[in-house]
């Protein structure tokens, strides 16, 4: 049986769909994997409800109800998002932030779940993990590297160590030299840019920002990064790290863009962190302290 990355304190996992509709077999496969690890699973009532808009899992009120109900049920130990897509932003103006702060219930997701995690981070909810969701747990179980970092992100206490690259080594490519230390936040670039100017974007001053995306033309990456720069987000960072950008133009195009936009950051700029819409990946505990060393190592 694959190694169980969930600590003993996690016994019951609730599956929610705050954004797009999840394929029933993908969710079923993820639930089977959780059960194989000895966990109890509760799929919340509206995961498969559907909506008039085919790209949403359910109407916003139903998605909000499922999410908030997890905090009301004391036997639920962790909230696992089914998938990303789009729609999480619909929930943000209506969530009961006092309820979501009422107990430290972990929430796992990334991609469109970036919107929810950034808003929760601003409201001091969590812990929050940028990590594979329910539909990818089969891939997670088969990947020792990803499973190791998933377990580290779930652990409340870890000893800082350099993040290893899947192919060996632990040095990212340095685009702009420097050292930095601060809380690390991992976000989807496009989704983070859409939160600029809203009351749900946290103050990222002094943070190390890790960005990733998938299937975006380079000019669109430029648009999102320019938005972050012109809103003052990049200028306040301690450091900027680029993760995986699968199907986002060519590597030389991306590097030219990342070098140019990195000039807005006063600290170091690195690329090559193993996080994004591809496996293997290193899960991130949002807000956990990270250190960027001059040689391109990131200690987390």
Burial (Cβ within 10 Å: 0-12, 13-18, ≥19) of residue 130: buried
Phi, psi of 168 (to 5 degrees): 105, 155
Residue corresponding to tokens 């995306």: 213
- Residue tagged active-site, from 46, 111, 244, 293: 111
- What's the confidence (pLDDT) of residue 1? 43
Looking at beta carbons, which pairs linking 160-165 to residues 24 or more positions away fall under 8 Å? 160/289, 160/291, 160/299, 160/300, 161/299, 161/300, 162/297, 162/298, 162/299, 163/273, 163/274, 163/282, 163/297, 163/298, 163/299, 163/300, 165/272, 165/274
Beta bridge partners of 15: 43, 80
CB-based contact 126:106 (threshold 8 Å): yes
- DSSP SS3 for 191: helix
Which pLDDT belongs to residue 2?
56
Q: pTM for this one?
A: 0.97
Catalytic residue among 212, 216, 244, 293: 212
Q: Quote the CA–CA distance of 82 and 182 in Å, as a whole number.
A: 30
Is there a catalytic annotation at residue 111?
A: yes
Catalytic-role residue among 46, 244, 277, 293: 277
Structure tokens at 147: 């499973």
Torsion sign (Cα): 64, 65, 67, 68: positive
Q: Which CATH superfamily is domain 12-154 in?
A: Murein tetrapeptidase LD-carboxypeptidase, N-terminal domain (3.40.50.10740)
Is 161 known to be catalytic? no
CA dist 29 and 24 (Å) reads 9
The pLDDT profile of the chain, 300 residues, written as one tens digit per residue, is 458 999 999 999 999 999 999 999 999 999 999 999 999 999 999 999 999 999 999 999 999 999 999 999 999 999 999 999 999 999 999 999 999 999 999 999 999 999 999 999 999 999 999 999 999 999 999 999 999 999 999 999 999 999 999 989 999 999 999 999 999 999 999 999 999 999 999 999 999 999 999 999 999 999 999 999 999 999 999 999 999 999 999 999 999 999 999 999 999 999 999 999 999 999 999 999 999 999 999 999
Residue 198 near residue 230 (C-beta atoms within 8 A): no
pLDDT at 3: 82
Q: At the topology level of CATH, where does 173-299 sit?
A: Glucose Oxidase; domain 1 (3.50.30)
Q: Could you tell me the residue ranges of all domains in the chain?
A: 12-154, 173-299
Contact 59, 13 (CB under 8 A): no
Chain CA centroid to CA 201, Å: 15
């Amino acid at each position: 049986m694959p190694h169980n990355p969930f600590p003993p304190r996690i016994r019951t996992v609730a599956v929610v769909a705050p954004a797009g509709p999840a394929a029933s077999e993908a969710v079923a496969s993820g639930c089977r994997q959780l059960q194989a690890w000895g966990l109890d699973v509760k799929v919340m009532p509206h995961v498969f409800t559907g909506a008039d808009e085919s790209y949403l899992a359910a109407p916003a009120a139903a998605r909000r109800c499922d999410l908030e109900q997890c905090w009301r049920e004391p036997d639920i130990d962790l909230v696992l998002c089914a998938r990303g897509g789009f729609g999480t932003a619909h929930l943000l103006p209506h969530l009961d932030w006092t309820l979501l702060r009422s107990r430290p219930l972990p929430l796992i997701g990334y991609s469109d779940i970036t919107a929810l995690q950034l808003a929760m981070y601003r409201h001091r909810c969590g812990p929050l993990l940028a990590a594979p969701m329910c539909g990818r747990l089969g891939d997670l179980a088969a990947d020792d590297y990803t499973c190791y970092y998933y377990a580290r992100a779930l652990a409340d206490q870890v000893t800082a160590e350099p993040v290893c690259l899947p192919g060996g080594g632990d040095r990212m490519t340095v685009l702009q030299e420097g050292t930095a230390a601060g809380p690390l936040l991992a976000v989807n670039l496009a989704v983070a840019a859409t939160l600029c100017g809203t009351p749900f974007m946290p103050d990222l001053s002094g943070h190390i920002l890790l960005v990733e995306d998938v299937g975006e033309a380079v000019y669109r990456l430029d648009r999102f990064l320019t938005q972050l720069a012109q809103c003052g987000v990049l200028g306040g960072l301690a450091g900027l790290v680029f993760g995986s950008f699968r199907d986002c133009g060519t590597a030389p195009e991306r590097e030219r863009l990342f070098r140019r936009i990195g000039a807005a950051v006063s600290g170091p700029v690195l690329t090559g962190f193993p996080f994004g819409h591809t496996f293997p990946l290193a899960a991130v505990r949002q807000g956990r302290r990270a250190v960027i060393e001059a040689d391109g190592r990131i200690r987390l």
